[in-house]
Amino acid sequence: MSTFRRFTRFSTTSAAPRIDQIPDGGICLSSFVVLSPPGKPNEVLMGKLNPAAPWDHIGALDKERAETNSRGWMLPSSHLILFESPQEAAARILREQLSISDQKLTGPYVFSEVYGPKNHWDLEFIFTGEKESAPKTDSWSELKFVDTTKAKKEEFARSHEDILAHIGKWPNPP
């Protein structure tokens, strides 16, 4: 029996089955860090990014995207660096975006989404943990625990409410 399926084995070798080009819509691999205060699962650490910070280096956002997304709440997150593991990316996010060096995380919880006219594909690695208070850092113009039971969809940037929905914190948190 022959199949017409296109399996996601991206390779430049001739071994079948394989795809040797990236899909037109592209593929993003990203890690997200979701921190809540102990006993307050409806509150999530989110920030409004400081567009003057080096987001091209710490979060894979060019100046234009950093400016555009600076008005809404975002989770600490980043695309993975080439050959970086999701766990290494989460540790880097903690260190570079939040100035946290010792944070216990659970996960990753892994989700996949395909959207848009060109079928952009996101693979999302979500890590969770508890934190007593919001850290102080220059990467964000505002960084605080946001009550997800009161936040509105239009208050989020980059569709980060979708990430919260994956782990049950949006729109109807526990």
Can you give the pTM of this predicted structure?
0.91
Q: Mind listing the pLDDT tens digit for each residue in 20-72?
A: 778 888 999 999 999 999 999 999 999 999 999 999 999 999 999 999 999 99
What mean pLDDT, rounded, does the chain reach? 91
Q: 103: pLDDT confidence band, cut at 50, 70 and 90? A: very high
Amino acid letter for position 172: N
Name the residue range of residue 94's domain: 27-166
Name the amino acid, one letter, at 14: S
Tell me the three state secondary structure of residue 125. strand
Residue 136 Cα to chain centre, angstroms: 20
* 8 A C-beta contact, residue 61 and residue 15: no
- 3-state SS, residue 87: helix
Q: Does residue 16 lie in a domain region?
A: no
**What is the structure's pLDDT at 46?**
98
Summarize pLDDT for 159-173 with one digit per residue, the tens: 999 999 999 998 866
Q: How many domains does the chain have?
A: 1
In three-state form (DSSP H/G/I as H, E/B as E, the rest C), the secondary structure along 34-63 is EEECCCCCCEEEEEEECCCCCHHHHCCCCH
Q: Which CATH number goes with the domain that contains 119?
A: 3.90.79.10
The answer to whether residue 82 sits within a structural domain is yes
Cα dist from 110 to 116, 137, 167, whole Å? 20, 28, 10
